[in-house]
């Protein structure tokens, strides 16, 4: 059985947002989470003078995107790094600042579709969940070694799981008998720990716990907190940033980072903007944009997307 085709989310909208920057002119775009290269491939096709710097922490994803983007020749530089290393990645290929930056956050299609990576609760597989499988601790390590209080915090903060206490109590009892190694045993435990009424109406009982473990293993929110100011600092005046988030915690961080720089620092009541106190960014989306029903029908993974975009209109403070 072949894996489902990778379908880039909100692709037409992303091309539209970058058109004023890259149409008929040279420019550098950073795809900070290139994954399988779907967005990048389309953007390189749409803008023939575009140069791409593509980042990913997952070596397997970089290999796949390298194959997919090979037809664009020397217009593409691939860098193995986590996206908070964006300024260093640009410097490594001789670029000072970017004209456009794209983030497509969360777990990639390839990571979900490969059972051995351990991201999908629908398949029994090793509890790994590392986006870069060459380094760091696994989801099994978290389940088997973290103190109960830490596990409760992770499930509550990263999974927004209201039954965190019940779930952790069950996990601690189970790991005392035998350490966790595979997802199937954890999914079975979660079915038993989450009340039946919630299972009927609240989606799959493993969804929130798996999200929480994945975020902890990959340090996703801490990385994003560092990555947003780093990326915005590496964006030229007139350049644009587009971010696709897939859960509320990510979207909140992105919203706050963009909104902070879209505000004026001129004291209220003054008749003119003080020099150097104006907004750095202009927001290009009204709130977060979502995928339409047709796209969600074609690509169910688009259902949770939240897209935000901004243009740099002033020099960094």
Q: Are 96 and 236 in contact (CB under 8 A)?
A: no
Cα atoms found within 13 Å of the Cα of residue 185, Cβ hemisphere only: 14
83 appears as a binding residue in the annotation: yes
Is residue 113 annotated as involved in ligand binding?
no
Return the axis-axis angle of helices 207-218 and 148-159, rounded to nearest 10°: 100
* 104 annotated as ligand-binding: yes
The tokens of 286 are what? 């009204």
* Residue 172 neighbours by CB under 8 Å, 6+ apart: 148, 151
Q: CA angle, 98 as apex, 94 and 103 as ends, to 5°?
A: 115
Three-state SS for the chain is: CCCCCCCCCCHHHHHHHHHHHHCCCCEEEEECCCCCCHHHHHHHHHCCCEEEEEEECCHHHHHHHHHHHHHHHHHEEEEECCHHHHHHHHHHCCCCCEEEEEEECCCCHHHHHCHHHCCCCCCCCECCCCCCCCCCCCHHHHHHHCCHHHHHHHHHHHHCCCCHHHHHHHHHHHHHHCCCCEHHHHHHHHHHHCCHHHHHHCCCCCHHHHHHHHHHHHCHHHHHHHHHHHHHHCEEEEEEEEEEECCHHHHHHHHHHHHHHCCCCCCCCCCCCCCCCCCCEEECCCCCECCCHHHHHHCHHHCCCEEEEEEECCCCC
Largest distance between two CA atoms of the chain: 70
Q: Is 31 annotated as a binding residue?
A: no
159 among the known binding-site residues?
Answer: no
Binding residues for S-adenosyl-L-methionine: 37-39, 56, 83, 104, 111
Binding residues: 37-39, 56, 83, 104, 111
């Amino acid at each position: 059985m072949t894996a489902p085709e990778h379908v880039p989310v909100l692709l037409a909208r992303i091309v539209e947002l970058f058109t004023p920057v890259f149409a008929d002119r040279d420019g550098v775009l950073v795809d900070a989470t290139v994954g399988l290269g779907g967005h990048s491939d389309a953007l390189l096709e749409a803008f023939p003078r575009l140069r791409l710097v593509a980042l990913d922490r997952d070596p397997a994803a970089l290999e796949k995107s390298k194959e997919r983007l090979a037809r664009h020749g020397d217009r593409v530089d691939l860098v193995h790094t986590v996206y908070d290393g964006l300024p260093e990645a640009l410097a490594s290929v001789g670029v000072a600042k970017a004209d456009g930056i794209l983030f497509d956050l969360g777990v990639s299609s390839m990571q979900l579709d490969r059972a051995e990576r351990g991201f999908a609760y629908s398949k029994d597989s090793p509890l790994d969940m590392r986006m870069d499988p060459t380094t760091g601790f696994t989801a099994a390590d978290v389940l088997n070694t973290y103190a109960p209080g830490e596990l409760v915090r992770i499930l509550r903060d990263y999974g927004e799981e209201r039954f965190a206490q019940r779930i952790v109590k069950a996990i601690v009892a189970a790991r005392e008998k035998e350490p966790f190694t595979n997802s199937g045993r954890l999914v079975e435990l979660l079915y038993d720990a989450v009340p039946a009424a919630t299972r009927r109406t609240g989606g799959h009982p493993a969804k929130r716990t798996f999200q929480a473990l994945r975020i902890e293993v990959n340090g996703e929110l801490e990385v994003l907190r560092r990555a947003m100011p780093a990326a915005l600092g590496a964006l030229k005046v007139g350049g644009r940033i587009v971010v696709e988030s897939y859960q509320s915690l990510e979207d909140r961080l992105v919203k706050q980072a963009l909104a902070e720089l879209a505000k004026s620092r001129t004291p209220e009541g003054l008749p003119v903007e003080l020099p150097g106190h104006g907004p750095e960014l202009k927001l290009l989306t009204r709130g977060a944009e979502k995928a339409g029903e047709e796209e969600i029908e074609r690509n169910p993974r688009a259902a949770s997307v939240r897209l935000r975009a901004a243009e740099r209109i002033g020099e960094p403070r």
